[in-house]
Amino acid sequence: TRVACQLALITGVALWVMAALRMSFLVRFISRPALSGFVTGSAFVILATQMKDFFGLRSVPKGVDFFENVYFITTCLPQTSSPVMLLGVLVVVIIEGSKRLKATPYLRRLSQFKELIAVIIATILCWLISSLYIEEMEDF
């Protein structure tokens, strides 16, 4: 996640500086395949670094390169934490499903906060599950 955060920060700062200096014309000098390759490569790196957290894999080492990370994730898939993965799937479904809210006029503004809504729902769900689990353990 550290690499993904650094990459996102550097890319965001570079885009902000270029926008502030009105340097968007420079993109015309970068070929489409080079620009597409950079964006695709960044997406793969971010995806590979986030998948261990999505599946709840604790045994994947940190600080490995892209191909080692993919190897460790694929070999550790049997150790997937079902609750963590289901929570990740729920958040993705909420974010993707909220795109349909744009079609409804009075819910259009709500779709702008889809990530915040997903985080709030996931937090409440985690709190409910953990409080039920803790109460269950106290009964024994």
For the stretch 49-77, pLDDT in tens is 888 888 888 887 887 888 888 898 888 88
> What range defines the domain where residue 8 resides?
1-80
Residue-level pLDDT at 134: 63
Are 8 and 73 members of one domain?
Answer: yes
- The pTM score is 0.63
> Which tokens in the block code for residue 45?
């790196």
Are 116 and 134 members of one domain?
Answer: yes
Are 76 and 9 members of one domain?
Answer: yes
Are 8 and 67 members of one domain?
Answer: yes
Neighbours of 22 (CB within 10 A): 7
User: What is the largest distance, in Å, between two alpha-carbon atoms of the chain?
Assistant: 68
Q: What integer is the mean pLDDT of 111-125? A: 88
Residue type for position 11: T
Would you place residue 135 in the very low, low, confident or very high pLDDT band (cuts 50, 70, 90)?
Answer: low
Total count of domains within the chain? 2
Distances (CA, A) of 29 to 33, 48, 85, 123, 138: 12, 30, 42, 45, 65
